[in-house]
């Protein structure tokens, strides 16, 4: 499916390069706008962005230990403890004993508390559902493939940055 750009005729090569540059610029803009949206959403809940991302990760990936949260978010153990304390104080997460290791606790999302809150993401979800509804099945399949690949690339780049510390 990939095309070797070196084998393309001049005009097609130039068009391809321009599209790649445009996609990179748009990707950066989309990333910035997404980060700004998440910050605005966090503000609506009276939370910080790290608090929101912690909740998001727990919702998407399931319950985990404080150490796993720290590793996933690149936080120190002290920062994770403070983070969990904040979320627990607002009753957004619960600490539960680890089934096999008494030294560890499992952090779970308090689904009942989240369900009781106004969902500031609902409008965004509806807007994207409308947008995605304008694409063909083939285009949606491509977008799924693109997002899966871009998430993996991003995770690899995060790992590179973390290993350079």
Which CATH number characterizes residue 53's domain? 1.10.10.10
Range of the domain at 89: 8-134
Average pLDDT of the chain is 92
Residue 148 lies in a domain: no
Let me know if residue 68 belongs to a domain: yes
Looking at the 3D structure of the chain, how many domains does it have? Answer: 1
Distance CA 68, CA 64 (A): 6
Q: What pTM does this model have?
A: 0.80
- Give pLDDT, residue 117: 82
164 falls within a domain: no
Tokens found for residue 147: 């997002």
Q: What is the rounded CA–CA span in Å between residue 72 and residue 107?
A: 13
Place of tokens 């991302």: 53
- The answer to whether residue 82 is domain-embedded is yes
Structure confidence by residue, pLDDT tens digits, 32-69: 999 999 999 999 989 999 999 999 999 999 999 999 99
**Between 8 and 50, residue with greater pLDDT:** 50
Does residue 162 belong to any structural domain of this protein? no
- How would you label 92-121 residue by residue, b for 16+ Cβ within 10 Å and e otherwise? bbbeeeeeeeeeebbbebbeeeeeeeeeee
Which residues are within 8 A (CB) of 110 and not within 5 positions of it... i.e. 6 or more apart? 91, 92, 93, 94
Q: List, in order, residues 6 or more apart from 37 with CB less than 8 Å away.
A: 124
For 12-30, the pLDDT digits (tens) are 888 999 999 999 999 999 9
């Amino acid at each position: 499916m990939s095309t070797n750009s070196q084998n393309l005729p001049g005009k097609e090569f130039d068009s391809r390069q321009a599209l790649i540059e445009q996609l990179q610029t748009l990707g950066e803009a989309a990333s910035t706008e997404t980060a700004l949206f998440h910050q605005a959403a966090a503000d609506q809940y009276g939370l910080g962005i790290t608090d929101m991302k912690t909740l998001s990760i727990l919702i998407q990936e399931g319950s985990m230990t404080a150490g796993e949260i720290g590793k996933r978010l690149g936080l120190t153990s002290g920062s994770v403890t403070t983070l969990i304390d904040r979320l627990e104080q607002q009753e957004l997460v619960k600490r539960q004993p680890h089934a096999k290791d008494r030294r560890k606790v499992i952090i779970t999302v308090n689904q009942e508390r989240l369900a009781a809150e106004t969902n500031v993401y609902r409008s965004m979800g509806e807007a994207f559902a409308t947008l995605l509804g304008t694409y063909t099945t083939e285009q949606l399949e491509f977008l799924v493939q693109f997002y899966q690949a871009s998430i993996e690339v991003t995770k690899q780049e995060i790992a590179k940055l973390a290993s350079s510390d």
